[in-house]
Structures are given as structure tokens and as C-alpha cells.
Amino acid sequence: MSNQEAAEATIKSDIANNPIFLYMKGTPSEPQCGFSAQVIHVLNHYGVSYGSRNVLEDWDIREGIKAFTNWPTIPQLYVEGKFVGGCDIIMEMHRKDQLGDVFAKLETK
């Protein structure tokens, strides 16, 4: 298995095994970029549990997640295995009170 294939397998596993998953720079307790910090702040606002992976620890994951979604930036948020968006989209959904609806649907399942 190539590094790229291993990265893709890890990404698929992360997303499948966590109802909410965030690929970010740094960790939730120590974000390493302002965009990741903003998304963490929003997730904490909603009080949801989520998994995360620090892409700075693994180049193949960092590049692999961009290819996986065809989205060039990190952070990237997934809910129920679906790509929701990066920082700009998450912040816009939060401002429009749409993100709470996404999380509420999780709780009703």
C-alpha cells in the first residue's frame, strides 16, 4: 500500500467512525492556525463532540484530505461522512444559524 493509499484509508476511517470530524492544523486545545481556531470555537459553541486530526503531523494526510474532497484548504469539517466545508463556509453557516440544524439532525438519529 502506497503512502497515498494509506492516507486515503485513514481519512475514510476517520470520517466513517466519527459523526463529526475535523481535519485541522494543530489540536483542539492548541490550534496552529487562526482558521482552525475559529472552527474549534464554533464547534465548542454548539457543545458537540467531534474527532480531529492534526494534518501538520502527517504530510500524506495533509495533502490527501485536499485531494479527497477536491478542496484546497484546511480546516475541513465532516458531518455524517459528508464534507460540510472549510472555515469560511462553517463561519457563514454559523452566522445564518444553519450549523445548529446540521448538528440537531445528528441528535435525532
pLDDT in tens, 54-109: 999 999 999 999 999 999 999 999 999 999 999 999 999 999 999 999 998 886 55
The domains of the chain, with CATH numbers, are 3-107 (3.40.30.10)
pLDDT in tens, 12-24: 999 999 999 999 9
How far apart are alpha carbons 27 and 40 in whole angstroms? 9
Rg of the chain taking only CA atoms, in angstroms: 13
What backbone torsions phi and psi does residue 54 show, to the nearest 5 degrees? Answer: -85, 105
Helix, strand, or coil here: 2? coil
Strand partners, 59: none
Amino acid at 75: P
Q: What is the pLDDT of residue 107?
A: 63
